[in-house]
Amino acid sequence: MNIHEILHRPVENMLMTGHTDTAENIFEFMPDYNSYFFKFTDNFLKIDFYEETAQLRLSICENLAFRELTDEPDFKTTWVSVIKMFLKDYVYSDFFIKKIILFNAVENGDSFMCDYAEVVFSDGLAVEKTLNFDPLNFWGISVDSKNEPPENAIITVIE
């Protein structure tokens, strides 16, 4: 499956992975701000931030991917739903990815690397919401931002 094939399919959830510290029976979730997952029926759209290149990678995966911390035995891999935080307008209705806009994208097999991405969601009626993924901002995500694309950016639209 590739990114083109997930468009217009219902999004079931938006997830963030991380670790839960279980030491002393006090549970603290520590998110991994480098990855977001959009859940579909049988797979995920994964959006990763790569610090080495300050770029995003968008790819399709069949399972959630966790960063293992082998030197911390009390840290357990876990995930949390963040759909209500970013897409609260859609909590009670079906919605899908209408299009994905990539800035300075390079296709790499079944994935894309880019400097910035906008994912446009729709309920098929009147409501649209855009999530902006910017690797240079805290958490790397904002909602309905009106950021100007980088000067001379090459824009790729997947619809």
- Could you report the per-residue pLDDT of 38-84, keeping only the tens digit for each? 999 889 999 988 878 889 999 999 988 766 655 666 677 788 888 88
CA 111 from centre of chain = 13
Q: Which domain holds residue 38?
A: 3-158
Confidence label for 91 from pLDDT (cuts 50, 70 and 90) = low
What is the DSSP code (8-state) at residue 23?
G
More confident residue, 93 or 29: 29
pLDDT of 13 > 70? The answer is yes
More confident residue, 28 or 46: 46
| Nearest alpha carbon to residue 121 among 64, 155, 83 | 83
Q: How far apart are CA 127 and CA 106, in angstroms?
A: 30
Q: Which of 47-61, 97-111, 119-133, 145-159 has the lowest mean pLDDT?
A: 145-159
Cβ atoms within 10 A of the Cβ of 47, count? Answer: 24
| Nearest alpha carbon to residue 32 among 44, 20, 14, 40 | 20
Which single residue is written with the structure tokens 């579909």? 40
Say how many domains are in the chain.
1
Which single residue is written with the structure tokens 């409501």? 127
Task: Give yes or no for a contact between 139 and 125, defined as CB atoms under 8 angstroms apart.
Answer: no
Confidence label for 106 from pLDDT (cuts 50, 70 and 90) = very high
